[in-house]
Amino acid sequence: MLLRFPDGAEKTFTEGITPLDVAKSISSSLAKKVVGAYLDDDLYDLNRTIHRDGAIRLVTESDEKAFEILNHSSAHLLAQAVKTLYPNAQFGVGPAIEEGFYYDIALETSLREEDLAHIEKQMARHAKENHPMVRKEVSRKEALEIFKDDFYKTTLIEAIPDGDAITLYQQGDFLDLCRGGHVGFTSKIKHFKLLSLAGAYFRGDSDGPMMQRIYGTSWFSKEALDAHLALLEERKERDHRKLGKQLKIFMLNSEVGQGLATWLPNGYAVRKVLEDYVYEEERKAGYLHVSTPVLGSKHLYETSGHWDHYQANMFPPMERDGETFVLRPMSCPHHMKIFQSELRSYRDLPLRYAEIVTQHRYEASGALTGLERVRAMTLTDAHIFVRPDQIKAEVISAYELIDKAIADLGLEIAYLEFATRDDSKEKFHADETLWNEAEAVLEDVLVEAKIPYKKVPGEAAFYGPKIDFQVKTVLGHMITMSTIQLDFLLPERFDLTYINADGEKVRPVVIHRGYISTFERLMSILLEQTKGAFPVWLAPTQVILLPVSLDAHMDYTKTLYKSLMEAGYRVKIDEREEKLGYKIRDAQTQKIPYQLVIGDQEVADHSVTARQYGSSEQHTVSVEEFYDQLAQAVAKKSR
Ligand code: TSB
Ligand code: ZN
């Protein structure tokens, strides 16, 4: 039997060897790291015998595929352990997933978190016993016979397309239906952890039976497992839903309604700074601010094409006095009408209308996630009306404005997504010529400006292609934040025109621009990024004053408070009858950037003793010096 290796070398082996044997024939260290092999395009288990010639590529622990093979094998080990502990258990599917594996289990008793530790121990026992995971190919008839009392496996077998091989895997006395790709021996599974329980419908079908899903994760070394568990812990800590509650930033309440966030005073304080930032940056960049209603007539949204292409994301219409209204999912149609409200000349362009826009989208309830995906949202929006010869310069200046804001916010662009259409009829408008032109122009700008991007067909807006700014948080979470979209369609549908230099009526082009996303999504990103320790310019409370004595030091404290408030800072006095140490700890929990302790010395010298969030050091400085520090901290934003 002749096997060809990736480096071109060929070697003859006796028939019936396994990938493990092949690795051993090369080196014993390789044999330790190998987890399987590809023979041509077929994935082989580590212990599956090879009966034919072919190109072989050993899969070792460092291979991307290896994690999947290990985790898939771990799912089997989990099922084996569950079967040992609960002999009546039956099983649905048990795949590897991005960060581990799961198995869906049908069991009379409902499992509790405490049971996971027992199951984990049993897994460790079976791992030690070193069962080979033995592959058997069977006919459909045989498979159905073997699993005749098992509704789940029978259903899964019946779903296997005709002509596909049906394979079973035996490990110890546990037999499972599986396509394969295993580490061959249970002893290869060493560093794993069961993480959580959830309910899951069999094959995701909500009409089918509900099963119990156990999630786990499996790694090739203890270090890797520990690092992953630490990351999971960090993720919990940084979960914006948890932080938002703890720091009283926002609330989600089922009586208010699903996906409808309420901004609490602390959250609104941050949002107001961001609103002012957006307004000022836009003002300096020549944007004109407008304000339009959250409702629009349904007719307006029929004209724009939203009704035809975006209806699935809209709340149903409402009628009054013979007029039909919709809650707007976007503001573009309103801005089109502003453009249309006057006669426009080529000299008026570009016209940049900006608005902090509250809009409503119907997002499926399963898709709602804290503030990241909501149903009522406020977007930092703009629509820029340009002549064709101005497209490039305007796209680039919108890009630069966004780029600066992302840096000011202490975030980073991970990559740009160039979203184009695909051949879906419902999602995109039908004018081939407009599409081709818009995509070509936008891509040209990206290429000329040497901005690297990833092309993603099918993700465009219905009215045109877009550039989405993907931001990555410290946790590696990728989120669409800002967007620049090129639109030749809405000007057409609204019959927008301006008078060109030759006195003719011609069409403008529209650039839709989402600046720093919606405040909801942005807040979710900022919370995750900062763990709620906002930089000074954004912090809900920037300074807290802690008088040592509520009598002796109160006058001076109040004077300071007043002057800081007048100067535009967000300040609080802790007037509670508590020990100073307690108040300091509390201020740290609230992640307030500056804590000022005020006692006899400070009153006498006209000074403050300042401590910064996260530090145990304190410095006594003059009031003037403190003002300087504060102003500098605000000015540097999140940079
Ligand atoms: C930029 N008409 C354009 C606008 O002119 C528009 O609405 N584009 S959008 O559909 O891409 O949305 C703009 C931004 O809103 C997105 O880039 C995303 O950051 C944010 N966003 C979208 N859906 C949600 C949601 N459900 N919850 C929170 N933010 C959202
Ligand atoms: Zn728009």
Best of 373, 478, 518 for a ligand 1 pocket test (most atoms within 8 Å of beta carbon): 518
Report which bound ligand comes closest to the CA of 359: 1
Residue 603 has pLDDT above 80, yes or no: yes
| 329 CA to centre of ligand 2 in angstroms | 10
- Residue 491 alpha carbon to ligand 2 centre in Å: 12
Which whole-number Å values give the CA distances from 306 to 195, 231, 382, 422, in the listed order? 43, 41, 17, 18
- Residue 311 included in any domain: no
**Residue 187 belongs to some domain of the structure:** yes
* Mutation probe of ligand 1 site: the residue of 521, 522, 523, 524 with most atoms within 8 A of C-beta: 521
In 3D, which of 439, 409, 526, 419 has the Cα closest to residue 479? Answer: 526
Residue 231 and residue 160 share a domain? yes
Q: Can you give the CATH number for the domain in which 216 is found?
A: 3.30.980.10
pLDDT band at 181 (very low <50, low <70, confident <90, very high): confident
| Cβ atoms within 10 Å, residue 218 | 28
Ligand nearest to the CA of 361: 1
Q: Strand order of the sheet with strand 478-487? A: 288-289, 351-360, 376-386, 509-518, 478-487, 466-472, 413-420, 453-457
483 CA closest ligand 1 atom index = 17
Q: Is residue 307 part of a domain?
A: no
List the one residue out of 304, 361, 311 whose CA is nearest residue 337. Answer: 304
DSSP 461: B
Q: 158 and 201: one domain?
A: yes
Residue 448 pLDDT grade (very low, low, confident, very high; cuts 50, 70, 90): confident
Could you say which ligand is closest to the alpha carbon of residue 465? 1
pLDDT of amino acid 451: 81
pLDDT of residue 530: 96
pLDDT digits (tens, 9 = 90+) for 525-535: 999 999 999 99
Q: Whose alpha carbon is nearest atom 11 of ligand 1?
A: 483
Q: Please report whether residue 315 resides in a domain.
A: no
Residue 421 DSSP SS3? coil
Question: Are the C-beta atoms of 480 and 468 separated by less than 8 Å?
Answer: yes
530 CB-near residues (< 8 Å, 6+ apart): 410
Q: If you measure from the C-alpha of residue 429 to the centroid of ligand 2, how many angstroms do you get, rounded to a whole number?
A: 15
pLDDT for 425: 78
Tally of CB atoms within 10 A around 206: 7
Q: How far is CA 252 from CA 257, 374, 532, in A?
A: 8, 10, 18
Same domain? 131 vs 87: yes
Mean predicted confidence (pLDDT) in 135-150: 93
Tens-digit pLDDT profile for residues 219-255:
999 999 999 999 999 999 999 999 999 999 999 999 9
Judgement on whether residues 40 and 123 belong to the same structural domain of the protein: no
Contact 381, 513 (CB under 8 A): yes
Angle at 455 between CA 450 and CA 456, to 5 degrees: 155
Question: Is 547:600 a contact under the CB 8 Å cutoff?
Answer: no
pLDDT band, residue 523 (cuts 50/70/90) = very high
Picking from 9, 16, 11, 58, the residue whose alpha carbon sits closest to that of residue 33 is 58
Residue 381: its H or E element: strand 376-386
Same domain assignment for residues 446 and 525: yes
Domain boundary among 15, 31, 60: 60
Average pLDDT over residues 483-505: 96
Decide the pairing of beta strands 351-360 and 288-289.
parallel
User: For the chain, what is the mean pLDDT?
Assistant: 95
- Would 464 be classed as within a structural domain? yes
Q: What is the pLDDT of residue 135?
A: 94
Choose among 78, 20, 82: nearest CA to 47.
Answer: 20
> Pocket residues for ligand 1 (CB within 6 Å)?
330, 332, 361, 363, 373-374, 377, 379, 381, 383, 480-481, 483, 512-514, 517-518, 520-521
In this prediction, what percent of the chain has a pLDDT beyond 90?
Answer: 91
For ligand 1, mutation pick of 355, 372, 483 (most atoms within 8 Å of CB)? 483
224: Cα separation from own chain's centroid? 23
pLDDT tier at 427 (50, 70, 90 boundaries)?
Answer: confident
Containing 174, the helix (H) or strand (E) segment is strand 174-177
- Give me the DSSP letters along 194-220: EEEEEEEEGGG-TTS-EEEEEEEEEES
* Residue that finishes a domain, picked among 60, 78, 96: 60
Q: What pLDDT, on a 0 to 100 scale, did the predictor assign at position 450?
A: 82
The domain boundary residue, chosen from 530, 563, 595:
530
Residue 475: per-residue pLDDT = 86
Same domain, 49 and 71: no
- pLDDT, tens digit (0-9, with 9 covering 90-100), for 291-300: 999 999 999 9
CATH code of the domain containing 514: 3.30.930.10
DSSP symbols for 243-292: HHHHTT-EEE-TTT-TT-EEE-HHHHHHHHHHHHHHHHHHHHTT-EE---
| Domain count along the chain | 4
Cα angle, residue 445 at apex, residues 409 and 279 outer, rounded to 5°: 35
pLDDT above 70 coverage of the chain, percent: 100
Write the CATH number for 631: 3.40.50.800
In angstroms, the CA 57 to CA 507 distance is 58
Whole-prediction pTM = 0.84
What is the best residue among 274, 513, 517 to mutate for testing ligand 1's pocket, by most ligand atoms within 8 Å of CB? 517
Confidence of residue 433 (pLDDT cuts 50, 70, 90): confident
Angle, vertex CA 146, rays to CA 144 and CA 148, nearest 5: 60
pLDDT in the model for residue 432 = 83
Within a domain: 324: no
Cα-to-chain-centroid distance, residue 387: 36
Are 107 and 86 in the same domain? yes
Same-domain pairing of 97 and 200: yes
Atom 28 (ligand 1) nearest CA: 373
The domain spanning residue 35 has which CATH number? 3.10.20.30
164, 257: one domain: no
Q: How many CA atoms lie within 13 A of 415 on its CB side?
A: 11
Residue 197, strand partner residues? 214
- Does residue 594 sit in the same domain as residue 470? no
425 close to 308: Cβ distance less than 8 angstroms: no
So what's the pLDDT on residue 511?
98
> Region 343-370: what's the mean pLDDT?
96
Flag whether 342 is in a domain.
Answer: yes
Q: Which long-range contacts (CB under 8 A, 24 or more apart) does 547-553 make?
A: 547/573, 547/574, 547/575, 547/598, 547/599, 548/580, 548/597, 548/598, 548/599, 548/600, 549/599, 550/575, 550/577, 552/600, 552/603, 553/598, 553/599, 553/600, 553/602, 553/603
Q: Is the peptide bond before 350 cis (omega within 30 degrees of 0)?
A: yes
In this prediction, residue 322 carries a pLDDT of: 96
CB 144 within 8 A of CB 253: no
Contact 18, 48 (CB under 8 A): yes
> Is residue 1 classed exposed, middle or buried when 0-12, 13-18 and 19+ CB atoms within 10 A define those classes?
middle
> Do 473 and 351 share a structural domain?
yes
DSSP state letter for 451: -
> Are 400 and 422 in the same domain?
yes
Domain that holds residue 46: 2-60
**pLDDT computed for residue 74 by the predictor:** 97
Which whole number is the average pLDDT over 74-93?
A: 96
